[in-house]
Amino acid sequence: MQYRIEWKPSAARAFRKLPRQVQDRIRPRVDVLASNPRPDGVKKLEGDENAWRIRVGEFRVVYEIHAAVLMVMVLRVANRREAYR
């Protein structure tokens, strides 16, 4: 069962603004979500029934899982200080 990865436009813009080294660390972690949307180390966010997050160093990737349509929507890519605001 393969999930489709979609990026919210604001998340895609934030990702493109990151340094290349950081992008190279984040991209494989997001790509893994296509085959397993809940890998080891992922946490469910409180206050939102669909939001999950993965840690990549000082950065967080916040995403939603839409199992009915087999889609993972990346909502936000940000430094940990700004990720949950």
Note the pLDDT tens digit of each residue in 31-72.
999 999 999 989 999 988 889 999 999 999 999 999 999 999
What's the pLDDT at 85? 67
Question: Is beta strand 51-56 parallel, antiparallel or unpaired with respect to 43-44?
Answer: antiparallel
Q: Are 78 and 51 in contact (CB under 8 A)?
A: no
- Residue 1 — pLDDT band, cuts 50, 70, 90? confident
Q: Among 80, 66, 81, 69, which residue's Cα sits nearest to residue 26?
A: 80
Count of structural domains within the chain: 1
Q: Is residue 11 part of a domain?
A: yes
**In the predicted model, what is the mean pLDDT of residues 4-20?**
96
Q: Is residue 47 part of a domain?
A: yes
Q: Are 70 and 77 in contact (CB under 8 A)?
A: no
Q: Is residue 84 part of a domain?
A: no
Amino acid identity of residue 73, one-letter, is M
Q: Is residue 85 part of a domain?
A: no
pTM of the model: 0.91
Instruction: Domain of residue 29: give its range.
Output: 4-79
What's the pLDDT at 48? 82
